[in-house]
Structure 1
Amino acid sequence: MSETASSPGDDEHVDEAQNERLQKAVIVAVRAGQRPRVLAEGKRYAALLNAPLVVVHVDVTRFVTFEDPDGMVHSAPIDLNIDTGAEEFAQVRAESEKALAGSGLTWTARQLVGDPALSIKHLVHELDAQLIVVGTRSRGIGESIREFFTGSVAARLSHRQSTPILVVPLEEPVPDDKKDPWAE
């Protein structure tokens, strides 16, 4: 059963009652159009742990400007095209609804903003999450450049908080006789 999902227009404000229902959740970070394996693993572990599932999309085109004492987060766009993040979140929500239909899980989708590792870390702390599920990066020059500037989300999370992280491979494994993708 899906709960109400936050959207970028909500200024990331989610009521305390919803956060209370999501305590000890499994958090799965997804991108629009990503292979469904990451969400499937999050779904599997949420069922195994009898935990709620929080599907998270991080809008990296926005940044946090300040947070009110009551937890309401205010954000501003880096780019004037603020619809990109909203469109991606709508796609993530639709993909999640399809994948989680009939699962019997309590789940919600949340849009976070800013640095992926830091925003996920904040949510993990807020919900006292049991597990974080993330995918590996895609191969290619664009992803290599992005990772050069932002670093690996999984690696950064592993050094900044204590909740276990499940890293799900998104592509076929690199053969042993090939160069490591991060060395490209």
Structure 2
Amino acid sequence: MSANNGEQRGGIIVAVVPGQPTTVIEHAAALADDLDVHLVCANVDVNRYLVSSYVDGSVVALPYDPDLPEVEKATFDAELAANIRAVLEPKGVRYSLEQLAGDPAWALTRLADQIDARYIVVGTREAGFRGSLREFFNGSVAVHLAHRQHRPVIVVPLAPLTKGEKLPWE
């Protein structure tokens, strides 16, 4: 499902990734429904960098790794799109899919500026050691967003700790 830029204006962006629990999309959808605005589901390919983007929302990106295929129009992951559709269509939420490339915080900020988004919704890190390690070295997308643009960032907890558990940096 896609929408033109005018339909997306003033909507909510939700960052989506393959394998992400549906709770992030569900919370973003509830907010979009409450506010009666469009929901933009944005996936960022961190293995490519943006070369150009077009009015129709298509993106051309080059891989950082020279062994990956050359210039191609970035396409939204079909399985991720099907999962999003399964969650959102029964709810009747207006949504579109956007494929982005590069640093997630910069890509989401650029899209938010483009459509004058009200909010950006992201999930927390993956549970476990690998997720904590990746977040430690790369930084939290939510933290980067909070420092790079003026919109509110809503963070949906994916693996909240129970009382007495140590925080990842402890």
Q: TM-score, normalised by structure 2?
A: 0.86
2:131 counterpart of 1:132: no
2:117 counterpart of 1:118: no
Deviation of 1:44 (Å): 0.2
2:63 counterpart of 1:64: no
The residue aligned with 1:34 is 20
Q: For residue 42 of structure 1, what is the amino acid of its counterpart?
A: A
Task: Give the Cα separation in 1 of the matches to 2:76 and 2:111.
Answer: 19
- List structure 1 runs of 4+ shifted beyond 4 angstroms: none
Kindly indicate whether the alpha-carbon contact (under 8 Å) linking 1:28 and 1:53 is maintained by their aligned counterparts in 2. yes
- Structure 1 unaligned spans of 5+: 5-17
Q: For residue 3 of structure 1, what is the amino acid of its counterpart?
A: S
Q: TM-score, normalised by structure 1?
A: 0.80
Could you list the per-position Cα deviations for residues 87-131 of structure 1 after superposition, in whole angstroms to 9, with x for gaps in the alignment?
872222111111111322221111110100000000000010011
Task: Give the Cα separation in 1 of the matches to 2:115 and 2:21.
Answer: 26
Aligned length: 165
Deviation of 1:174 (Å): 1.4
Does the C-alpha gap of structure 1 residues 175 and 116 become closer, same or farther in structure 2, counting only changes over 3 Å?
same
Matched position secondary structure for 1:76: strand
Matched position secondary structure for 1:35: coil
Query: RMSD of aligned C-alpha atoms?
Result: 2.5
Task: Give the Cα separation in 1 of the matches to 2:60 and 2:144.
Answer: 24
Identity value in percent: 39
For residue 98 of structure 1, the aligned residue among 72, 80, 86 is 86
Task: Give the Cα separation in 2 of the matches to 1:180 and 1:99.
Answer: 31
Task: Give the Cα separation in 2 of the matches to 1:135 and 1:99.
Answer: 16
Could you list the per-position Cα deviations for residues 5-61 of structure 1 after superposition, in whole angstroms to 9, with x for gaps in the alignment?
xxxxxxxxxxxxx11111001101011111110000011000011000000111111
- Structure 2 unaligned spans of 5+: none
Q: For residue 24 of structure 1, what is the amino acid of its counterpart?
A: G
